[in-house]
Structure 1
Amino acid sequence: MKLHWSPRSPFVRKVMIVLHETGQLDDVELVRSVVALSQPPNPELLADNPLGKIPTLITDEGMALFDSRVICEYLDQRSNAGLVPSDPGARMQALRWQALGDGLTDMLLLWRTELTRPTGPWQAVTDGWLAKVRACMTQLENEVSNLRTAPFGIGHIAIACALGQLDFRWPDSDWRRQFPKLAALGAEWDGRQSISVTAIKNDQADDNSLTLGHLSFAPH
């Protein structure tokens, strides 16, 4: 298999965690693919994925799979690892947590892109994202007990990647102080090899926009 990959992408990280968890890392060739919303599409990636997005997985049969959710489910089924539960109730809970984690990551990525606009960010949009990100974090804090008791799976992976993106792009947010139960659970996840070895890394030394703007979870 071939994976269009970047060490900076939280959604690629989801796939990498699943590869580690399911023992399939050696089955995949990693292809460094640079993408940016503000740049022309990567032609090599576009040839495999008309959406021009990563992650993109090319299976042994030559099928191109798009979107981390689709790829992760394919890899889980391929290995029969059970990261996506088969029980209907457990499956729906895991997919719900995945949607929450992925949605939080999406907002953080879009927020950063908005802040890099040459004409400046649209304040009404960024204010809305701030409210939604705070609400997501509060929801996760309230669900820590359920997250801790459920078997580690795709929902936990998505949330871990969202928290990793928060640390990578918004290191001044001090989210652990405001959400201590979630911080403690996140520290437990960080102890898993699949989480620790896939931590987001910046491999582009000329990127001077890693941290932009300010995100605070302090009461206001």
Structure 2
Amino acid sequence: MKLISSPASPFARKAKVLLLETEQEDVQVEEIISSPTEPHPELKAANPLSKIPALKRADGCTLYDSRVVTRFLDARSGGGLYPDNRIWEVLTLEATGDAIMDAGVLMVYENRCRPEDLQFGGWLDAQWEKIEGALDALNTRWMSHLAGPVDMGQIAVGCALGYLDFRHDSRGWRKGRDALDDWFAVFSQRESFKATKPG
């Protein structure tokens, strides 16, 4: 089994953190470099959307979309990162983390993939407003869940905040969000999280 990944992808990082948390050492991680305008040939062959991550299985179709990949890997290992007793909270929190990542990645693509004369500052501001709304919700409504046993929702939020530090640090996501900042300071010390930090 092979996980097609990329060192900078927060979506792939979710899957890599899960692999470490559940000790699935038999899954090979292949790091590639790909972009929306020049997708890597192996990724294009594995996932018709050319998005990372993709999980190539020997005994079934290739899985893609990070939430499908992580749900499969958790079920495979019996890791319990999608606990039945709070499944809807976990899935909503994971969707919130994924939405932050999605908006953050789109901001990077706007600057990196569009010619400078076609870049739209209003688009960047709109994406950041989405991120800020999600961060405010996490800081005010989700702290009790974030403080509970580790699950996939927490991993998604951790990867999202790590991506903001990596690509959008100058925007200062921590300002006015002390509770979320304190939580992330602790969560980011997990060995699985340190081992997957983008360079």
Aligned mates of 1:125, 1:148 — CA distance in 2: 30
Cα deviations by residue, 1:4-39 (Å, 9 ceiling, x for unpaired): 111111011000000011110x21122222210132
Aligned mates of 1:181, 1:20 — CA distance in 2: 26
Assess if the C-alpha contact under 8 Å between 1:16 and 1:198 holds in 2. yes
State the one-letter code of the partner of 1:179: R
* Equivalent residue, structure 2, for 1:131: 129
- Does residue 44 of structure 1 match 2:39? no
Could you state the TM-score of these two structures normalised by the residue count of structure 1?
Answer: 0.84
1:43-192 map, 5 Å: 43-87=41-85, 90-116=86-112, 117-118=114-115, 119-192=117-190
State the one-letter code of the partner of 2:9: S
**Structure 1: which 5+ runs fail to align?**
202-220
Assess if the C-alpha contact under 8 Å between 2:56 and 2:63 holds in 1. yes
* Equivalent residue, structure 2, for 1:18: 18
Aligned mates of 2:96, 2:153 — CA distance in 1: 8
Aligned mates of 2:166, 2:108 — CA distance in 1: 11
Cα deviations by residue, 1:19-63 (Å, 9 ceiling, x for unpaired): 011110x21122222210132x32222222212111111124142
Could you state the TM-score of these two structures normalised by the residue count of structure 2?
Answer: 0.93
* Equivalent residue, structure 1, for 2:194: 196
State the one-letter code of the partner of 1:28: V
Aligned mates of 1:177, 1:15 — CA distance in 2: 29
Cα RMSD, aligned residues only: 1.4
Give aligned-pair identity as a percent: 37
Cα deviations by residue, 1:63-119 (Å, 9 ceiling, x for unpaired): 2000110010001101111101122xx100000000000001000000111123212
State the one-letter code of the partner of 2:56: I
- Does residue 29 of structure 1 match 2:25? no
User: Given the superposition, is the C-alpha separation of residues 148 and 131 from structure 1 closer, same or farther in structure 2, using an over 3 Å criterion?
Assistant: closer
Assess if the C-alpha contact under 8 Å between 1:144 and 1:182 holds in 2. no
Aligned mates of 1:166, 1:148 — CA distance in 2: 18
State the one-letter code of the partner of 1:178: G
Aligned mates of 2:184, 2:43 — CA distance in 1: 33
